[in-house]
Amino acid sequence: MSKKVLFILGPNLNMVGHREKSFYGDETAETINECVKLWAEELGFELEIFQSNIEGEIISKIHSALGAKDGIIINAGAYTHYSYAIRDAIACVVNIPTIEVHMSNIHARDEFRHKTVIGAVCRGQISGFGKFSYRLALEALKDIFESEDEKP
């Protein structure tokens, strides 16, 4: 049975390819999402991609994963740095492995981007590899699922 993964993209990530090209490159969000879908398929995952610029919608989507998804990959965008509400939503579904992901290296950017409030409730964080950060997150989830399947 394939694992179900929720891929959440936060505010302004629908504008990748148009915004801050020095950090995000020229490739559009749509083409990146197509790559992510292909990678997920290669790994045997059912993938749902959800993007919202609205904090409450992201929180509701995280809540909806309970009992419905096996893993979450989240690029919360700017919410990463200050949304305790998204942090608490991830903590509510603590039994679902969640990986925080960023295309850019948040530690090499503005000082306010160095802090992540959601990281403490995520299984891990991947940043700085462009769209390949998402591939690494998918591969990390696969490893997590396989190690959980091996438990007696």
Q: Which residues are catalytic?
A: 24, 102
Exposure of 56 by Cβ count < 10 A (0-12 exposed, 13-18 middle, 19+ buried)? Answer: exposed
Rg, C-alpha atoms of the chain: 14
Which H/E stretch holds residue 3? strand 3-9
CA gap 15, 67 in Å, rounded: 31
